[in-house]
Structure 1
């Protein structure tokens, strides 16, 4: 499922004919990059590709003063069929994608406790900053905000809260994690550092 196509076709179906800057502005106003994989900067290229495929069509050109001319696009019947297909596919995607942090954690046996804790604390700070963004979104409505928009923001906020809870659990159990790793590799955990020391080593 292509999220950029879904966003563009959905915007044209909802609002009618628009030019590229209007669609990009909608993506920025809706903070689409926070709750989807849509990147406003990728929309212009997507418009050209969808026009070539017959999903959208130019209906007129507008020019304001000395500004460059702007092409206004409308969704075609083929585009509406594609929109229905993309929306159905999106509703059907329920699996959570694997998070690279899980693989990194599984392959971190040789990291000492302080290093691993530093990585996780850095990740938690970034997640906390994202959580603060969504808290602010919940407090400030944007133009034409809908009930669906409110639910989307809450969905993202709750997912980040779950991530924060997992990171807190990991930080709480890092010492245990290092101890198990040391036992598996036949070493001891150096007091105060959590570093694995091979048997016979210092």
Structure 2
């Protein structure tokens, strides 16, 4: 499931024909990068791919002032069908990706307890910083957010808080983990 595909098709379906810069501005005003995997810099490539798949179509070119001519796109009938499919998949899919950290942790028997504690403490601090940053950005943007966007951001904040709690438990269990490594060696 492609988040950027879902985003572009959704925006064109909701707002009608737009050029890439307008779609980019919409992503920025929605603070899309805060709560999705959509990267604003990838939008133009996505527009080209969607056009080549005939999910969107070029409607016209537009020139305003001294700006270069911009291609205006609209969603096609096939694009609306694809939007229904990708949105349906996204709404029904439960996505919890394995964290490569877990694999590295399980295979860290050659590290001493102090090294592991340092790594885990640093990760925990990074998660707290990310959680604080998200909270601050959400508060700053709150007046422009829809209730659905607020809930998406709250979902991400809850996941970060859960990660912090898990790291706390991991630090508590670290002596047992190191003892298991020693027994296995």
Answer yes or no: is 1:109 the counterpart of 2:109: yes
Q: Deviations over 1:49-74 (max 9, x none)?
A: 11111111122211122211111111
Answer yes or no: is 1:47 the counterpart of 2:51: no
Q: Which runs of 5+ in 2 are unaligned?
A: none
TM-score scaled to structure 2, two decimals?
Answer: 0.93
Give 1:92 shift.
Answer: 2.0
Give 1:146 shift.
Answer: 1.0
Give 1:33 shift.
Answer: 2.3
Distance 1:114-1:97 versus aligned 2 partners, 3 A rule: same
What root-mean-square deviation, in Å, do the aligned CA atoms of Structure 1 and Structure 2 show?
1.5
Determine the C-alpha separation between the residues in 2 that align with 1:116 and 1:29: 41
Give 1:176 shift.
Answer: 2.1
When structure 1 is superposed on structure 2, of 84-93 and 131-140 the one drifting more is 131-140
Q: Which runs of 5+ in 1 are unaligned?
A: 186-202
Higher relative contact order (CA 8 A, sep 6+): 2
Q: Which has the higher helix share?
A: 2
Which secondary structure does the structure 2 equivalent of 1:104 belong to?
helix
Determine the C-alpha separation between the residues in 2 that align with 1:42 and 1:175: 44
Determine the C-alpha separation between the residues in 2 that align with 1:10 and 1:78: 13
Conservation of the 8 A alpha-carbon contact between 2:142 and 2:150: no
Determine the C-alpha separation between the residues in 2 that align with 1:68 and 1:10: 26
Determine the C-alpha separation between the residues in 1 that align with 2:52 and 2:86: 18
Q: What is the match of residue 195 of structure 1? A: none
